A and B are shown apart, each in its own frame.
Chain A
């Protein structure tokens, strides 16, 4: 009984802020600032209506989703062959290279922001979704390589060899035999890339002209004060893609953690 109480308390503690965000998104600013109500007294969809009708808002969502999807595709596409090489071949300095990849994640993003800004302005990538997608690769590619390498090393090398003996060419083996075996790894890696890119703020702001959803949300702060209701509604909507992705990869996430990588 005590155990259950503790668990309930913990879950309430975790979910309360999220509930409160949802709660606020259905209220008017006056209600938010004047009363403390568990459920909205005068529920309104005005905040959501604003987001779905104002092109700045829904454009922001579209822009962010574009670079997040682009980034996830690039990261996984690049990390698959890299992880295969790390998992299957021995070459000079392979362990050091593998570790160096990871150290990229340890550097603060701000270090890279300025050079990226300058470079992308020079080649005309500034203010495009490609700019953000490529910039996020510096963090997501190492992560994806790390996760995928773990999954790939879990597949016995003999499977590769059996496929060659059976007559498979490398591309055919990789797509027909190998990818299905590490599908959960690809799912987990894609999830982490997606989430990192979705919540990242610094690059998204520096490399674009305030187009990403995270930077648009900062616009709710104006001289007239903060538009609490609108901000909450936007917050709720930013949670949705994450929830969807988690829903799709929920069975694989546990596996990903069980492998001791991630």
Chain B
């Protein structure tokens, strides 16, 4: 089964939520919708589910137009960011509800509820009311309900966002396994690039209601089509500097000058956006690196890694370094760029050159 969006637009009271979206979601892999808040992830989910009608365009299931079909006649399951269960029912009844509505036989319902509850480790709580459970268990119940339905399209709208770190890690590892071997199309929305990378599969990046790129997750990560996609798919955000390349030097309007080394040597003269990932911004001097002077703005320590926000003329960069590294705000430091690790974007945002991958230096 495949689910496809065909030039789908949706606007509400003159405001565009989804703009000309075309994509085909395949079964057997997790399709990630990646984008910041308000980028149209939930709107896309609701269109796919049939909860909202598109303003124009078609939604196709196995090539069949289902645009006007009511939700309850579609084979869809959905898990929300908020833990949505029926509060007046027990966990068992919650999981059983899609089967009951369908009129399945009692033994069949019981068997499938127990299998789903087993997979999600909910057996001890089957007789409890949904609201008496912890957040993680409530979300497990919601996932079990989606699982038991055996729907052709499973929509997971930031299902882990409201869980605490530990539970999130746990459930994220389980999720792909749960839907394994089913001929279901799985669409998973998230704001976190890391989550997309962890889930693998295919990723569609969204920006202001547009689908900016769709392809296998590692490919999209390594070869973002344009500057916006690169920004969406990088955490912490990618660092940028706009430069004018001329006479062997790349100069930014604010006065930062880089010698045209690495890829810059091979580019025709003109205006470019140079991007590089935070972990490519080094705080220690090394031969082939380009030094730039800056001032520490903020320094955050996450345990095994440190983020240092650095103000350089005209830009703010983030350096991601291993280990605990304390820098005082206001401190003047020198940072070092690796010209072999640049992404180059043309003035109109298109990708000209991507950071090469393959052998890692560190």
Does residue B125 face the partner (Cβ distance < 8 Å to A)? no
Q: What CA separation (Å) do A51 and B226 show in the bound complex?
A: 88
Residue in B72, B76, B80, B84 whose beta carbon sits within 8 Å of that of A168 in the complex: B72
CB distance from A101 to the nearest CB of B (A): 24
Chain B interface size, under 10 / 10 to 19 / 20 to 34 / 35 or more: 20 to 34
Instruction: Describe B's contact surface by its main secondary structure.
Output: mixed
Does residue A241 face the partner (Cβ distance < 8 Å to B)? no
Q: What CA separation (Å) do A167 and B102 show in the bound complex?
A: 7
Residue in A158, A159, A165, A181 whose beta carbon sits within 8 Å of that of B72 in the complex: A165
B72 A164 Cβ-Cβ under 8 A: yes
Question: Which B55-114 residues have a C-beta within 8 angstroms of A?
Answer: 70-72, 76-78, 80, 82, 84, 86-88, 97-98, 101-102
Question: Given contacts A165-B77, A165-B78, A166-B145, is CB(A172)–CB(B72) below 8 Å?
Answer: no
A172 B84 Cβ-Cβ under 8 A: no
Does residue A161 face the partner (Cβ distance < 8 Å to B)? yes
B88 A180 Cβ-Cβ under 8 A: yes
Does residue B220 face the partner (Cβ distance < 8 Å to A)? no
Which chain B residues lie closer than 8 Å to A158 at the CB level?
Answer: 80, 82, 84
Which chain B residues lie closer than 8 Å to A121 at the CB level?
Answer: none
B84 A166 Cβ-Cβ under 8 A: no
Question: Given contacts A162-B78, A165-B49, is CB(A156)–CB(B88) below 8 Å?
Answer: no
CB distance from B313 to the nearest CB of A (A): 48
* Mask: chain B, 34-52; 1 = CB below 8 Å from A; 0 = not: 0000000000000001010
Which chain A residues lie closer than 8 Å to B80 at the CB level?
Answer: 158, 162
Q: What CA separation (Å) do A162 and B87 show in the bound complex?
A: 12
Which chain A residues lie closer than 8 Å to B51 at the CB level?
Answer: 161, 164-165
Chain B minimum-CB-distance residue to A164:
B71
B101 A166 Cβ-Cβ under 8 A: yes
Does residue B309 face the partner (Cβ distance < 8 Å to A)? no
Chain B minimum-CB-distance residue to A159:
B84
Residue in B82, B88, B98 whose beta carbon sits within 8 Å of that of A166 in the complex: B98
Chain B minimum-CB-distance residue to A180:
B88
Q: What CA separation (Å) do A94 and B229 show in the bound complex?
A: 41
Chain A minimum-CB-distance residue to B73:
A167
Question: Given contacts A164-B71, A164-B72, is CB(A159)–CB(B86) below 8 Å?
Answer: yes
B98 A167 Cβ-Cβ under 8 A: yes
Does residue B149 face the partner (Cβ distance < 8 Å to A)? yes
CB distance from B317 to the nearest CB of A (A): 40
Chain B minimum-CB-distance residue to A172:
B101
Question: Which A168-214 residues have a C-beta within 8 angstroms of B?
Answer: 168-169, 172, 177, 180-181
Q: What CA separation (Å) do A107 and B182 show in the bound complex?
A: 63
Chain B minimum-CB-distance residue to A169:
B72
Which chain A residues lie closer than 8 Å to B78 at the CB level?
Answer: 161-162, 165
Which chain A residues lie closer than 8 Å to B102 at the CB level?
Answer: 167
Which chain B residues lie closer than 8 Å to A163 at the CB level?
Answer: 86
CB distance from B159 to the nearest CB of A (A): 13
B72 A156 Cβ-Cβ under 8 A: no
B101 A156 Cβ-Cβ under 8 A: no
Which chain A residues lie closer than 8 Å to B98 at the CB level?
Answer: 166-167
Question: Given contacts A167-B101, A169-B72, A172-B101, is CB(A162)–CB(B84) below 8 Å?
Answer: yes
Q: Which of A158, A162, A164, A172 has the most CB of B within 10 A?
A: A162
Chain A minimum-CB-distance residue to B49:
A165
Question: Given contacts A181-B87, A181-B88, is CB(A168)–CB(B101) below 8 Å?
Answer: yes
Q: What CA separation (Å) do A168 and B72 show in the bound complex?
A: 7
B72 A177 Cβ-Cβ under 8 A: no
Q: What CA separation (Å) do A177 and B80 show in the bound complex?
A: 18
Which chain A residues lie closer than 8 Å to B97 at the CB level?
Answer: 166
Which chain B residues lie closer than 8 Å to A162 at the CB level?
Answer: 78, 80, 84, 86
A156 B77 Cβ-Cβ under 8 A: no
Which chain B residues lie closer than 8 Å to A156 at the CB level?
Answer: 82, 84
Q: What CA separation (Å) do A3 and B267 show in the bound complex?
A: 85
Which chain B residues lie closer than 8 Å to A177 at the CB level?
Answer: 86, 88
Which chain A residues lie closer than 8 Å to B149 at the CB level?
Answer: 166
A167 B72 Cβ-Cβ under 8 A: yes
Q: What CA separation (Å) do A162 and B51 show in the bound complex?
A: 10
Residue in A165, A180, A181 whose beta carbon sits within 8 Å of that of B76 in the complex: A165
Chain A minimum-CB-distance residue to B78:
A165
A165 B84 Cβ-Cβ under 8 A: no
CB distance from A103 to the nearest CB of B (A): 27
9 contacts between A and B (CB under 8 A): A156-B82, A161-B51, A163-B86, A164-B51, A164-B72, A165-B77, A166-B72, A167-B72, A180-B88
List the interface of chain A (C-beta within 8 A of B). 156, 158-159, 161-169, 172, 177, 180-181
The 4 A-B residue pairs whose C-beta atoms are closest, nearest first, are: A180-B88, A167-B101, A166-B98, A164-B71
* New A-B contacts (5) at CB < 8 Å, excluding given A158-B84, A172-B101: A164-B72, A165-B51, A166-B145, A167-B101, A177-B86
